[in-house]
């Protein structure tokens, strides 16, 4: 028990929060703080900065464009470093509270073309092509809590906790590691207006999951990225780190995925199982394209996770089955019984970009694309 007290937490988390509260309670007049948030050049990291607005923005159109130095975010060279921030989705700010805002932005380069890791731009175009299908998504975001030294939160400093078994949906100090963070994140997401629909402790100790959805079209990516931002920010307050690494601990421990549930109006209507099966048939013929888009390193991250063990499918093989957690695609048992509903793609990695994952599903299942490359519709 003494070993647990030596948990490596950040220096800033030890500052006196009561002192901070004294300042946060000061009135801010009519001014509004808008925190602009964007995805950096790694495709995984989030960046943010704040500006003052002189009135509360009611819609996304009320928010001005802004810019930042892309040479410091892996997004441009120093000689031509200004990048544009285009406000794309707005949420309430659970840290500074109303009337302040969190603003998720797209990044454009100096020539107004989308930055390489701005995968929202293309996703939005693809989603606009299938509006009448009403594509719904739900994503299950797994993550691992780490100390600032990279050691899983609550694990003994030299050694390992007991083997997996008691931790999934567990309760008790010896089974649930870090629930305070999960509770704070959940409530902050509800306040912000994020469509968070649940949480649970996962199979590996210090691993958790939250679910976002159902969201239609582009909203899926917007809500998941803001939920991730809020998680990083909550963890910062507690002095620990949230990792989306798909295999944070090698060996006999579960990895972390981002299972993606997908349906269209046709699939949700009576007899939709037939449409689901047709979609899975299309996916079976395009496995490599999907694996390439399901993590930021073209499949290399997922190769550490999709081993065929620990409730995963093998990265090199496509499989599908009812209620099968070892398959690429799982049809929930209830969907098999009701003959309608949705299916779950279990391949996306915890650090995937939800924009390209949802776009890939739409391209293959609805636009009926085939082959290794996405179709270019601008021609």
* pLDDT score for 1: 43
- pLDDT for 73: 95
Give the CA angle between residues 307, 211, 40 to the nearest 5°: 75
pLDDT digits (tens, 9 = 90+) for 132-185: 999 999 999 999 999 999 999 999 988 899 999 999 999 999 999 999 999 999
| pLDDT for the residue numbered 6 | 67
Q: State the 10-residue block means of pLDDT for the chain, 379 residues long.
A: 66 94 97 98 97 98 97 86 96 98 97 96 98 98 97 91 95 96 98 98 97 98 99 98 96 96 98 97 97 97 94 94 89 96 98 98 98 93
Per-residue model confidence (pLDDT) at position 41: 96
pLDDT for res 4: 45
Supply the pLDDT for residue 7. Answer: 82
All domains in the chain, ordered by first residue: 31-117 (3.10.20.70), 127-366 (3.30.590.10)
Return the pLDDT at 379: 78
Per-residue confidence (pLDDT) for residue 2, from 0 to 100: 44
């Amino acid at each position: 028990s003494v070993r647990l007290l030596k948990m490596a937490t950040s220096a800033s988390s030890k500052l006196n929060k009561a002192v901070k509260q004294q300042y946060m309670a000061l009135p801010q007049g009519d001014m509004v703080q808008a925190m602009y948030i964007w995805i950096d050049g790694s495709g995984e990291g989030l960046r943010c900065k704040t500006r003052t607005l002189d009135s509360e923005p009611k819609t996304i159109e009320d928010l001005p464009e802004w810019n930042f130095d892309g040479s410091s975010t892996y997004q441009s060279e120093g000689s031509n470093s200004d990048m544009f921030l285009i406000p794309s989705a707005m949420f309430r700010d659970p840290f500074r509270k109303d009337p302040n805002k969190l603003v998720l932005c797209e990044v454009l380069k100096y020539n107004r073309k989308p930055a390489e890791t701005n995968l929202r731009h293309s996703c939005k175009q693809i989603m606009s092509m299938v509006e009448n299908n009403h594509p719904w998504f739900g994503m299950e975001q797994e993550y691992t809590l780490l100390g600032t030294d990279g050691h899983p939160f609550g694990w003994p400093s030299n050694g390992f906790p007991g083997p997996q078994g008691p931790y999934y949906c567990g309760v008790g100090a010896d089974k649930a590691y870090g629930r305070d963070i999960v509770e704070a994140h959940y409530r902050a997401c509800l306040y912000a207006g994020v469509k968070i629909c649940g949480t649970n402790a996962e199979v590996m100790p210090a691993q958790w999951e939250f679910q976002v959805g159902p969201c239609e079209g582009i909203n899926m990516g917007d809500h998941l990225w803001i939920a991730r931002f809020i998680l990083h920010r909550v963890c910062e307050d507690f002095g620990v780190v949230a990792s989306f690494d798909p295999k944070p601990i090698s060996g006999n421990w579960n990895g972390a995925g981002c299972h993606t549930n997908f349906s269209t109006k046709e699939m949700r209507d009576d007899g939709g199982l037939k449409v689901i099966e047709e979609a899975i048939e299309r996916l079976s013929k395009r496995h490599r394209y999907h694996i390439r888009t399901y993590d930021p390193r073209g499949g290399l991250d997922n190769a550490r996770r999709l081993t065929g063990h620990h409730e995963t499918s093998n990265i090199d093989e496509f499989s599908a089955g009812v209620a099968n957690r070892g398959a690429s695609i799982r049809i929930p048992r209830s969907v098999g019984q009701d003959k309608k509903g949705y299916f779950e793609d279990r391949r996306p990695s915890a650090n995937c970009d939800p924009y390209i994952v949802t776009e890939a599903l739409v391209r293959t299942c609805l636009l009926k694309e085939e082959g290794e490359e996405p179709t270019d519709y601008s021609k």
